[in-house]
Structure 1
Amino acid sequence: MSDNSHILHPTKTGNSVKDNPADNTLLVTGRKKRILLASLFSNFFVLLALYCGVISVLLPNHIAQIDPANKANNLAIVMTSALLFTIFAQPIAGALSDRCRSTWGRRSPWIVGGALIGGLAIFGISMTTTVAGIAVFWLMAAISLNCMNGPLATVVADRFLPENRGIASGFVGAGSTAGGTVGIIIAGYLAWNLQLGYLVFGLAIVTCCIAFVLINREPSTRTLEVEPFRWGTFFKSFWVSPRHYPDFGWAFFGRFAMFLGYQGVVTYQLYILQDYIGLSVKDANYAIGTISLITLVTLLFSGLVSGYLSDKFQRRKIFVFASSILMAAGLVIPLLVPTLNGMYYYAAILGLGYGAYTSIDMALMTQVLPGGGKQAGKDMGILTIATVLPQSFSPVLSAWMLSTFNNDYSTLFIAAIIFVFASSFFVLPIKSVK
């Protein structure tokens, strides 16, 4: 069997794509395509349910129980302590998965291994009663889950032709955003029993990833040739010059700005409901579930519809641009209406924008990879830094802003609006994608 990286840059004739089915052994069609789409939806659903449920609800509640007076600063410490170790986890795992030769293919060993270790580490968090202990177990979980997430995301580039990646990205985006919403809802109702909450999310990610690789079996790569490993070449490959690959650079910085703004509000959403809206701890945990449910409905609709329309018209940029503007508009609402109803309106508008953004952004990313995607695992991993870095950095920025502006949570919305609005303009200079 030959290397399948060439499937990422087929020859184009007009609006059609010519490919040799005999060579493209990873491509899926018909029933296998439908199963893979459903599997991607399920896996990203569970993964983001874990991330959002743990980050937005379980960790904030856990940390607040340990030290209520310093909860915001301690949450920032826990979230950022993993930064230096996890920022490069996905690109390194992606690069190693490109070179992986096994009976189960290139991506599957990383998907299963990362899920197993990550799931155990998530449950380990429940066993500790110190902020330091939480930070250590979260570091282990973050590294492992990032090593799983990178190869999993690369499946879109591996198995779908460019003209079909809008719908594939739509399923991934819908699964991610729906999972994040449901994860917050479930975590909100399990906040009374943190150990059970951590256990539910840890078991779910392990079960889902094992099922994924069994149902969507990769061909063996044991007989494929692999270039000799050289440390210098390996580490040099992680630098992608914005001058030589400007579209890749614009896509990276656009995603970075959007997630920096988005995560700054979402990470502190529980505290926003308590200290900005004025709810009790109990009411805030229930309200965060209602907010997430509203977001779920709007994002599922916008995510799947946007993915379908993007493929139909073969346009990516206009959808990413418009969705970013819509998200910025949603973030304005709590500033004008700082009430629980205002948060509900914010959730509905933000869901429409975020669902559309995530459904199209991945499709756009797969089409700006250097060299047509010959090192898709590594390059997709580099692009995920634009997601991971803001997730780690935004709590620090948010904690600094709250400290500087006398715990005024409105400053978080203002900063988020600026970053999300700015992100919409980074997509405009991209030339290789319409």
Structure 2
Amino acid sequence: MQDESLSGSHPDTSAASQPPTAAVEQRPEEPGPPLEPVSNSYLIWMMAANFGVAMAYVLPLAYTLTLRIDELAPGREEVLGYITGTAQVVFLIASPLIGVWSDRTRSRFGRRRPFLIGGSILGLLALAGISVAPSLLLIGVGWVFAMLGWATASQAIITVQADRIPEEQRGKVSGLTGVTGQVGPIIGVGIASAVSNSFLVFVIPGVLGIVLAVVFAVRGSEPDSRPLAPTGPVSVKEILASYVFNPRRYPDFGWNWLGRFVFFMGLYFNTTFSTFFYAQRLDLPVKEVAGAVAVVGAVGVVAAILGAVGGGFLSDKLGRRRLFTLIGALLFVCGAVVEAFAYSFPMLFVGSVLMQLAIAAFAAVDSAIAMAVLPNRTEAGRYMAVVAFSQKIPSALAPLIAPFIITFGTVGDVKNYTALYLTGALFALVGGLLIFTRVRSVR
């Protein structure tokens, strides 16, 4: 049978074209003894590390990188897109290779800790370089290395969860990961706003990130990986295979990947142009909607925390995952429909908060599903990188497709945001239904 695969660069829907009855149903491989529940102290240090890494990683994207670019090239907002987009492409290409390297690492420190610490060190050095870089080119190069470092550290934390967290704790852990990932950058912005020195606004969050990563590496010790089966050299075929998987052999992994991909396409349709959307619906210049966006964003974070923690904890308690992904998708549809027909701030506010709640609930619970249906737990690094493609690819594709939707049937400068938000709602619903109806090995 030919390998009909889903790849990071071109999502293949071959899994969708085959009914489950026609597929060779194969549950994920679970080598070794069953996973034991981890202690609360272990989870605390893991979440602290995730908080620190998220602060160091997301804060430049949200705030400090913009300030640095504006110092060297005032009014050149497009440069931020070029720099962040280039770094994103580099990491998308590198992430499965890093995952395979992590899976095959044999050391007294385990498989994931070297990448958590090494990635954090690289990220901190790159942030320091960006803070003093004299040109946009060097800032761009610096951000490529900063993203490689911190994203590798973040990926190591997620992979540790796939390695160590048993099914009965995955919802809670995924929810807490989402919360700490949200709160870290917010605290970072507060730190950055209190510091006027351009070197310190980059380095302080980076230092906090590496300190918390090291503490978790020490306190949450990982087993020595040297006793694991040795691995030989990696062939070109194995490298290429790290970007794909066989959805016929692992249908639940394939359906979940496809459902995530479709859901996140809908999400990015409805979030990419939110500032321009608010300006049009509130009849304000773009520069004057900052206050409205800030209010919605602040309350949205609270809603996201409630959605992530509530969805994750309830799904663990009830032993149900797919139901909560469907609830998340339905809530997203409600929020998107409200926003599609909203022409006042209160209605825009309600729609946005509903969507933030929905996104967090869906993402937390579906992350637990993704860990449950991994084809092979010994290759968690590789497969979690492939799972990340289902979110990263839509983040690049949706902004390219959305302009065609908002200009459809328009007259003058009034964009068709109603069509865009309804399209996003439809995609999110289809994604939720795919996971709810097709993933069979998870309740």
TM range (shorter): 0.7 to 0.9
Post-superposition offset of 1:343: 4.4
| CA distances 1:121-175 after superposition (whole Å, capped 9, x unpaired) | 2343343475544432222222222322222101122112223322222222332
| CA distances 1:239-289 after superposition (whole Å, capped 9, x unpaired) | 2112222221221122223333434555555666667753675872x6544
Greater displacement, 196-205 / 290-299: 196-205
- The residue identity in structure 1 corresponding to 2:47 is F
Q: Which residue of 1 aligns with 2:170?
A: 165
Q: Is 1:103 aligned to residue 108 of structure 2? A: yes
- Given that 2:276 and 2:286 are in contact with CA atoms closer than 8 Å, whether structure 1 keeps it comes out as no
**1:106-255 correspondence to structure 2 within 5 Å:** 106-128=111-133, 131-179=136-184, 182=186, 186=190, 189=193, 196-232=200-236, 234-238=238-242, 239-255=244-260
Q: Is 1:433 aligned to residue 442 of structure 2? A: yes
Distance in 2 (CA, whole Å) between partners of 1:287 and 1:185 is 18
Post-superposition offset of 1:232: 3.6
- Given that 1:53 and 1:186 are in contact with CA atoms closer than 8 Å, whether structure 2 keeps it comes out as no
| CA distances 1:68-110 after superposition (whole Å, capped 9, x unpaired) | 7663x44432332224321133322221111112221110010
- The residue identity in structure 2 corresponding to 1:208 is L
- The residue identity in structure 2 corresponding to 1:127 is V
- The residue identity in structure 2 corresponding to 1:369 is L
Q: Which residue of 1 aligns with 2:60?
A: 54
- Given that 1:169 and 1:363 are in contact with CA atoms closer than 8 Å, whether structure 2 keeps it comes out as yes
Q: Which residue of 1 aligns with 2:316?
A: 311
| Aligned residue-pair number | 409
Distance in 2 (CA, whole Å) between partners of 1:324 and 1:83 is 26
Distance in 2 (CA, whole Å) between partners of 1:187 and 1:398 is 35
Q: Which residue of 1 aligns with 2:387?
A: 383
Greater displacement, 206-215 / 331-340: 331-340
Q: Is 1:79 aligned to residue 88 of structure 2? A: no
Distance in 1 (CA, whole Å) between partners of 2:70 and 2:422 is 25
Distance in 2 (CA, whole Å) between partners of 1:40 and 1:360 is 18
Distance in 2 (CA, whole Å) between partners of 1:189 and 1:403 is 38
Distance in 1 (CA, whole Å) between partners of 2:406 and 2:344 is 19
Distance in 1 (CA, whole Å) between partners of 2:127 and 2:274 is 21
Q: Which residue of 1 aligns with 2:3?
A: none
Q: Which residue of 2 aligns with 1:346?
A: 351
Percent of counterpart pairs with the same letter? 24
- The residue identity in structure 2 corresponding to 1:426 is L
Please give the root-mean-square deviation of Cα atoms over the aligned residues, in Å. Answer: 3.6
Distance in 2 (CA, whole Å) between partners of 1:74 and 1:379 is 33
| CA distances 1:375-417 after superposition (whole Å, capped 9, x unpaired) | 1121112111222333344454557778998694937645543
- The residue identity in structure 1 corresponding to 2:234 is R
Q: Which residue of 2 aligns with 1:369?
A: 374
Distance in 2 (CA, whole Å) between partners of 1:283 and 1:188 is 23
Query: Secondary structure in 1 aligned to 2:438?
Result: coil
Greater displacement, 145-154 / 51-60: 51-60
- Given that 1:48 and 1:183 are in contact with CA atoms closer than 8 Å, whether structure 2 keeps it comes out as no
Q: Which of 82, 94, 97 in structure 2 is aligned with 1:92?
A: 97
Post-superposition offset of 1:360: 0.7
TM-score, length basis structure 2:
0.78
- Given that 1:48 and 1:179 are in contact with CA atoms closer than 8 Å, whether structure 2 keeps it comes out as yes
- Given that 1:299 and 1:352 are in contact with CA atoms closer than 8 Å, whether structure 2 keeps it comes out as yes
Greater displacement, 209-218 / 170-179: 170-179
Post-superposition offset of 1:294: 0.9
Query: Secondary structure in 2 aligned to 1:220?
Result: coil
| CA distances 1:34-60 after superposition (whole Å, capped 9, x unpaired) | 022223333333444445433344445
The 1:375–1:189 alpha-carbon spacing in structure 2 relative to 1, beyond 3 Å, is: same
Q: Is 1:420 aligned to residue 432 of structure 2? A: no
- Given that 2:407 and 2:416 are in contact with CA atoms closer than 8 Å, whether structure 1 keeps it comes out as no
Distance in 2 (CA, whole Å) between partners of 1:34 and 1:223 is 28
Query: Secondary structure in 1 aligned to 2:362?
Result: helix
Q: Is 1:45 aligned to residue 54 of structure 2? A: no
**1:279-358 correspondence to structure 2 within 5 Å:** 281=287, 284=290, 287-358=292-363
Query: Secondary structure in 1 aligned to 2:366?
Result: helix
Distance in 2 (CA, whole Å) between partners of 1:170 and 1:391 is 21
Q: Structure 2: give runs of 5+ residues left out of the alignment.
A: 1-27
TM-score, length basis structure 1:
0.80
